[in-house]
Amino acid sequence: MSKLMSPAVLRDLTLRNRTVVAPMCQYSAVDGLANDWHFVHLGRFALGGFGLVIAEATGVVPEGRISYADLGLWKDEQIAPLARIVDFLHAHGAAAGIQLAHAGRKASTPVSWIGPEQLATEQQRAALGYERWQPVAPSAVPHSPTNPDFQMPIELDQAGIRRVVDGFAAAARRADKAGFDTVEIHAAHGYLLNQFLSPLANRRTDAYGGSRENRMRLVLEVTEAVRAVWPASRPLLVRISAVDWHPEGWTIEDSVVLARALKARGVDAVDVSSGGFDGARVAVAADYQVPFARAVREGADIPTMAVGLLGDPARAEAILADGDADFIALARGALDDPNWPLHAQRQLGSKDYGLWPRQARRVAERDRVLGLLPA
């Protein structure tokens, strides 16, 4: 069996393989509630053979959403629609994860495909769950002073910081009730926890700003609060931006230090991405973030997920075999091919169609006739 398709264990959770669907915002919820779109969007990845499917960035408080159309877990009414999705993922062999998030100063932004003409009347706005609010942040500095989609945020005070920590913990409890196998704390891509980490956004002079230790404080407090309420038998993940791609920003050396601190607080794997701040100069190419996953894995002695333009099965296999990462996470690649693990398994030489849903295993007959089976 290939490394990519081999089982993996995190605490008491066994994943059927090392393929992961990374969180992808769908901007399709009303009042934070999952609906049929989310059910089909996420469910198809279980049918496609992925080992772990992670639901999109989910607001832990209403003002923590990137947009008014994001999923949420700030109230109990949001549990049941998510539990329906979890049950389907489990029924078809995939583990279920959810990313808990707070957008900070990047909150309350528009949905790109919904224009003013679709929000012209109160009835239209109500149907879409339209809301607009003033974001919060570590400092009163906007994400981009030239982009009107981003507002001037309010600097969080101590009570606001406590609301964030409590919000993450409460959302984790609801994720447990919904049956999720793992939660991922979102500390990447220029959102709130990443804003506290990065000197590009954090200008504070109190215990949450200044030194790296202080800038890490909120992420670690959130991690401790979530780990305290999340079942000990289930793994906890954190997504980080390994670098800001900015000369004055967060570095890979900072990420290694952070990953060590996260591991000490009960984090089981780090999902290693990068970027998220205005002014970044990102050198994008296939597999461009893999070196970051390796650096964190080696420097902190913790399992990592590689993510970012990873679509070639042979290359994914090599990444795992070479020790660059422990899991391969796809986002846009999964959208392009929801059956990517099934196709990867065949490309890597397997003649076993047991990963396919029973209703779809006649594909093997087609492949045999067309000579697509491995020699």
Contact 268, 13 (CB under 8 A): no
Instruction: Using pLDDT thresholds of 50, 70 and 90, give the confidence band for residue 372.
Output: confident
In angstroms, rounded to a whole number, what is the distance separating the alpha carbons of residues 172 and 170?
5
Contact 303, 323 (CB under 8 A): no
Domain membership of residue 243 (yes or no) is yes
In angstroms, rounded to a whole number, what is the distance separating the alpha carbons of residues 304 and 22?
13
The domain tally of the chain equals 1
* Residue ranges making up the domain that contains 274: 8-370
**Given the residues 27, 68, 130, 191, the one annotated as active site:** 191
User: Which of 24-28, 324-328, 338-342, 363-367 shows the lowest mean pLDDT across its residues?
Assistant: 363-367
At 283 the pLDDT is: 85
Domain membership of residue 2 (yes or no) is no
At 287 the pLDDT is: 92
Domain membership of residue 99 (yes or no) is yes
The CATH number linked to 206 is: 3.20.20.70
Task: List pLDDT tens digits, range 17-52.
Answer: 999 999 999 999 999 999 999 999 999 999 999 999
Average pLDDT for 108-125: 96
Task: List pLDDT tens digits, range 187-209.
Answer: 999 999 999 999 999 999 999 99
Question: Is the pTM value of this prediction over 0.85?
Answer: yes
At 373 the pLDDT is: 82
Average pLDDT for 291-306: 98
> 191 an active-site residue?
yes
Average pLDDT, the chain: 97
Domain membership of residue 1 (yes or no) is no
Domain membership of residue 38 (yes or no) is yes
Domain membership of residue 90 (yes or no) is yes
